[in-house]
Amino acid sequence: MPINEERFRDVLRNWASGVTVVTTRAGDKIHGMTVSAFSSVSAYPPLVLVCANQSSTTHGVIEQGGVFTVNILAAHQADISNVFASPENEDTRLESVSWSVGETGAPLIDEALACLECTVTSAHQEGSHTIYVGQVEAVHTSNAEPLIYYQGSYRALHDDD
């Protein structure tokens, strides 16, 4: 008997994670959303995964374009996380940040802690989400502190609470 959704969400609040914006492109359509479900999969070959809700617009664009870029947010980019998580400004999100076009065509967000440019190697539908596994084709890094998400709020590494 599976546990209920509320209990599941409550328990998962205890998992401290980084915060990413996953961007993607299919033809002229560029898009992105905030994602915490990101993980390294393999170093050789270099593979990572992201989990995208099948109801999200981002999901469809990744499916169509076959590329995604994981922009790992820096501590000062909590506002960007909020913008890319909000359904209200879905079509204007990318106008509110500075970005450049990466090798795959997907946006690289300026001042992100790191960007991993990926091509999709496999997609696995599980429950409400799809696990997109991507081969890392190019990386970009900067010297910044990470943004942390824990118990429903943003933290920095130097928080005392």
Ligand X SMILES: Cc1cc2nc3c(=O)[nH]c(=O)nc-3n(C[C@H](O)[C@H](O)[C@H](O)COP(=O)(O)O)c2cc1C
Q: Tell me if 118 contacts ligand X by CB under 6 A.
A: no
Q: Is 14 exposed, middle or buried (0-12, 13-18, 19+ CB in 10 A)?
A: exposed
H or E element that contains 67: strand 67-72
Among 49, 52, 70, 109, binds ligand X (CB under 6 A): 52
Task: Give the Cα separation of 29 and 16 in Å (integer).
Answer: 32
Tell me the three state secondary structure of residue 52.
strand
- Of 23, 24, 25, 34, the one binding ligand X by CB under 6 A: 34
Q: Which of 73, 65, 87 is nearest to 22 (CA)?
A: 73
Q: How far is the CB of 86 from ligand X (least distance, A)?
A: 6
The pattern of x and - marking residues 66 through 105 that bind ligand X according to CB under 6 A reads ---------------x---x-x--x---------------
Work out which of 41, 47, 53, 144 binds ligand X, going by CB under 6 A.
Answer: 53
Binding site for ligand X (CB under 6 A): 19, 33-37, 51-53, 56-58, 81, 85, 87, 90, 149
